[in-house]
Structure 1
């Protein structure tokens, strides 16, 4: 009986004219929030700083075939006399693409658009750490997936096998099937 479920599910999906599946900005943000928060703690950038990415914002389709990622990090610098606390926000743009073997969305042609610090007065103090943080974020976003289909969940597993490419639309990534 279990062997009948997959063909029935496939016929039901295809019979219902499902020809695409989309991933929302919120889904990508949730995925990145969880991954970046864990990975940045594993890879200490500077021994004198504690860095946490505490907010990721994703914007899809504001430009053709483009995804914008804005990451806000909280930095605690361990200075000699007074510890400093600040936030650093970096905004990137890139082209998303789908890896059909890994069932994941990656970014290429990553471009740093702007970096802001808060409070503004700490901008000079943060200049020493921001190149390392930007390098970490850039390397992470270019080499790690920004979203992975969950092949343990039956609907996403089916979508993962059928997807060959993605298309960026305002507010979502559309997975296109073969």
Structure 2
């Protein structure tokens, strides 16, 4: 009798808790903050003293479902140092935009960006010579590749709601410019 009541109470408690957390929303600001705090993006390409570029992301901003309903856009302000043959090294400020499809890893509780596309690549102060642009594109693409291999958000198992959502193997959808991890379709 006591076991039956304990089981009923446990089921009732679980239903009440899960009913209150059938979904978890990740805002653009949440994801931007997570990326700025957790992901360091710096890439280099080429051979030093011949043709060499080093690109570092200084500032990131995330937009969810705005350009395409099923994609996340990541805007990055980057700083690039470029060296070509005997020319003096030049510093460039680049604005880059990637878009990607968010994917939720149910085992780890992490969100990744897949099917990444380089949408925009601009130098803010001057026109880039074609040879410099050819050198920088692989470094920028490598930043995109690195961004697709690291989680852009992770549920925190130490928080009850996030742990319950994670353990239930939910689905990921984009709704109202938020990533929504939900238990039910």
Cα 1:36–1:49, aligned 2, differ >3 Å: closer, same or farther? farther
TM superposition shift of 1:98:
0.7
Q: How many Å separate the matches in 1 of 2:128 and 2:146?
A: 25
Deviation at 1:137, TM superposition (A): 1.9
Aligned to 1:21: 24
Structure 1: runs of 5+ lacking an equivalent: 1-6
Q: Cα offset for 1:175?
A: 0.7
- 1:94 is aligned to 2:97: no
CA RMSD of aligned residues (A): 2.7
In the alignment, what sits opposite 1:138? Answer: 144
Residue 5 of structure 2 aligns with which residue? Answer: none
CA distance in 1 between partners of 2:117 and 2:73 (Å)? 9
CA shift in 2, pair 1:9/1:52, >3 Å: farther
State how many pairs are aligned.
Answer: 168
Is residue 107–residue 169 contact of structure 2 (8 Å, CA) maintained in 1? no
Q: Deviations over 1:101-143 (max 9, x none)?
A: 1111112222221211121234546414322222212211322
1:30 CA drift (Å): 1.5
* Greater mean alpha carbon deviation, residues 90-99 or residues 137-146: 137-146
Distance of 1:103 and 1:60 partners within structure 2: 19
Query: Structure 2: which 5+ residue stretches go unaligned?
Result: 1-9
Give the TM-score, by structure 2 length.
0.75
- 3-state SS of the aligned residue for 1:129? helix
